[in-house]
């Protein structure tokens, strides 16, 4: 029996959408593998090297819950997130013998691609047509946010994968007849997401809770249903709270990391209430995610048309996606404003919303107009990639060589100082990039903390005197007196490396006493 023309049209649309999805997979893999061997210094080196430093400690000293991130002096342990991603990177590096930074990038990329699985499964569960699912996935993979951050040494994609898996099981539970494995899956992935990154999954938990209540509150569900639903959330929350309380207790004993406890950072994470109504706030976030290119102009048009013509089921799905997109920005306003990689937690929902909207518009178009439909979707993906080029290509495609200041300093310190002694770094806040690339335990003086003589002698912050003090205080008005203090306390004369002064206090046994190349 011959299929009706409309059915054939929709089937062809699904085939084209699947092709665009495969193209999107090829694009994100190519973009993130072309410079996979680059040092992790292209953007937010502060956070990338902090994550890598923990993985390096696992590789050298084995896994431990109170893991070391030797960047703020002793005690070296100042745990933040549960180190799932870092442990996996260390394990893969150990097994393969590959570069730890290459492995870190590829594991992050793998988790980004793996996010397609829970997205596809959730949309299928909600009855979304085949072509709409593939268009949504293609929009997700070509989003400028994911084209860039997918290949960085960050925990973001791992946290997002766990959170999206939790959301899938929450949708299954909301339908009212879940099996025990649905509650178990919900609990396991919620716990993993909370341990990996709380800020990624908490807004999803709120939306999922509303969804389950709205669809089941008046449906006469059994007490066993509600007991299992509550337990699948309460147990992971208790695990997440326990981890935060334990790590806070460890950081509270650290003279510098005490300022990194959850309570100390609460106001900074959330930001002031008025920030949420600031035009500058929304303009900044919008520029990052919504209108970097023609893609978003077309997206707004597609969303508007789809909403105007949508049935109630599609409209509810769009509203849920919009809530999942906006809620993280409203709750954790300041961290989203300051750190652009935080949008990895919610930009996916805008991408899916746009993909579904474009699919709805194309599906409603008359079959005789069919040829323009895949061209429209393809143009949207190309414009998405163009948005990436506007914002990120200068970082992604630039080759970082040995002339980079961090690499010059790290090479000098490795050559001139003994590996068993710590190094003091001043002038770049408490970035881990120097500790990671120099392979030296470090006291990196944060800009919010005044330099003290104890930091140079090894008393309160270090149990042994440092082998070197590296000062990168060029144009740092808040630290004008530091060079004089360093010379007075150490009695050493500086060696110029790049644009920094290095005071070598104890040399490696075979280290030459010549000055390093300058910059």
**Cα 208 to Cα 169: distance, rounded to the nearest angstrom:** 10
CA-closest candidate to residue 376, choices 364, 363, 362: 362
Query: So what's the pLDDT on residue 39?
Result: 95
Would you state the pLDDT for residue 433?
Answer: 94
Say how many CA atoms lie within 13 Å of 367 toward its Cβ.
9
Distances (CA, A) of 413 to 457, 467, 469: 18, 9, 10
Nearest to 325 by CA among 450, 204, 472: 204
Find the mean pLDDT for residues 386-403.
79
Model confidence band, residue 371 (pLDDT cutoffs 50, 70, 90): low
Residue 281 CA to residue 284 CA, distance in Å, equals 5
pLDDT of 248-292, one tens digit each?
999 999 988 999 999 999 999 999 999 999 999 998 888 887 755
- Residue pair 324/349 in contact (Cβ under 8 Å)? The answer is yes
Cα four-point dihedral sign 394, 399, 401, 403: negative
Q: How far, in Å, CA of 330 to CA of 172, rounded?
A: 27
Residue 384 and residue 380: Cα distance in Å, rounded?
6
Task: Specify the residue for token string 């999803």.
Answer: 204
pLDDT band at 511, cuts 50/70/90?
low
Residue 444 · residue 425 · CB < 8 Å: yes
pLDDT given for residue 2 in this prediction: 47
Q: What is the mean pLDDT of residues 397-414?
A: 91
**324-360 burial code (b ≥16 CB/10 A, e <16):** bbebbbebbbbbbbeebbbbbbbbbbbbbbbbbbbbb
* pLDDT surpasses 90 at 409: yes
Mean per-residue pLDDT, 193-204: 97
Pick the closest to residue 174 from 207, 206, 215, 202 (CA basis).
Answer: 215
Is the model's pLDDT at 517 over the cut of 50? no
> What sign for the dihedral angle of Cα 511, 517, 518, 519?
negative
Give mean pLDDT, residues 187-202.
97
Q: Is the pLDDT of residue 516 over 50?
A: no
Q: How far is CA 268 from CA 72, 201, 241, 273, 336, in A?
A: 20, 19, 19, 11, 11
**149: its two tokens:** 């951050």
Task: For residue range 54-104, list pLDDT tens digits in order.
Answer: 999 999 999 999 999 999 999 999 999 999 999 999 999 999 999 999 999
What integer pLDDT is reported at residue 291 of this predicted model?
A: 59
Q: What pTM did the predictor assign?
A: 0.91
């Amino acid at each position: 029996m011959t299929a009706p023309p409309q059915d054939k049209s929709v089937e062809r649309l699904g085939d084209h959408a699947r092709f665009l999805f495969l193209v999107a997979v090829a694009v994100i893999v190519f973009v993130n593998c072309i410079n996979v061997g680059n040092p992790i210094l292209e953007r937010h080196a502060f956070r990338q090297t902090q994550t890598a430093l923990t993985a390096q400690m696992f590789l050298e000293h084995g896994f431990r819950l109170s893991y070391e991130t030797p960047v703020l002096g002793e005690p070296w342990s100042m745990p933040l997130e549960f180190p799932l991603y870092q442990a996996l990177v260390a394990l893969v590096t150990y097994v393969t013998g590959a570069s730890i930074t290459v492995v870190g990038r590829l594991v992050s990329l793998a988790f980004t691609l793996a996010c397609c699985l829970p997205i596809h499964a959730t949309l299928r569960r909600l009855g979304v047509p085949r072509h709409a699912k593939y268009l949504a996935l293609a929009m997700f993979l070509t989003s400028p946010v994911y084209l860039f951050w997918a290949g960085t040494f960050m925990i973001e994609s791992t946290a997002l994968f766990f959170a999206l898996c939790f959301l899938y099981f929450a949708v299954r539970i909301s339908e009212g007849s879940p099996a025990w494995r649905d509650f178990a899956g919900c609990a396991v992935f919620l716990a993993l997401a909370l341990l990996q990154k709380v800020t990624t999954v908490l807004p999803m938990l709120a939306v999922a809770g509303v969804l389950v209540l709205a669809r089941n509150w008046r449906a006469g569900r059994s007490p066993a249903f509600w007991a299992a639903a509550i337990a699948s959330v309460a147990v992971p929350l208790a695990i997440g709270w326990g981890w935060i309380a334990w790590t806070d207790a460890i950081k509270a004993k650290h003279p510098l990391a005490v300022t990194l406890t959850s309570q100390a950072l609460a106001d900074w994470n959330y930001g002031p209430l008025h920030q949420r109504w600031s035009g500058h706030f929304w303009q900044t976030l919008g520029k990052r995610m919504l209108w970097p290119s023609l893609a978003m102009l077309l997206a707004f048009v597609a969303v508007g048309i789809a909403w105007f013509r949508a049935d109630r089921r599609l409209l509810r799905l769009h509203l849920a996606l919009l809530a999942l997109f906006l809620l993280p920005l409203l709750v954790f306003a300041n961290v989203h404003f300051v750190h652009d990689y935080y949008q990895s937690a919610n930009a996916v929902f805008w991408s899916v919303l746009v993909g579904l909207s474009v699919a709805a518009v194309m599906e409603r178009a008359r079959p005789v107009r069919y040829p323009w439909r895949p061209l429209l979707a393809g143009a949207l993906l190309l414009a998405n990639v163009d948005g990436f080029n506007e914002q990120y290509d200068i970082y992604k495609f630039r080759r970082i060589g040995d002339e980079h200041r961090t690499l010059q300093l790290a090479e000098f310190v490795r050559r001139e100082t003994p590996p068993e002694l710590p190094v003091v770094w001043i002038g770049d806040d408490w970035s881990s990039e120097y500790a990671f690339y120099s392979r030296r335990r470090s006291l990196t003086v944060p800009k919010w903390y005044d330099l003290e003589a104890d930091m140079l002698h090894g008393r309160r912050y270090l149990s042994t005197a440092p082998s070197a003090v590296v000062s990168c205080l060029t144009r740092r008005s808040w630290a004008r007196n530091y060079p004089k203090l360093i010379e007075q306390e150490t009695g050493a004369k500086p060696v110029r490396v790049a644009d920094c002064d290095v005071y070598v206090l104890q040399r490696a046994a075979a280290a030459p006493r010549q000055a390093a190349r300058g910059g």
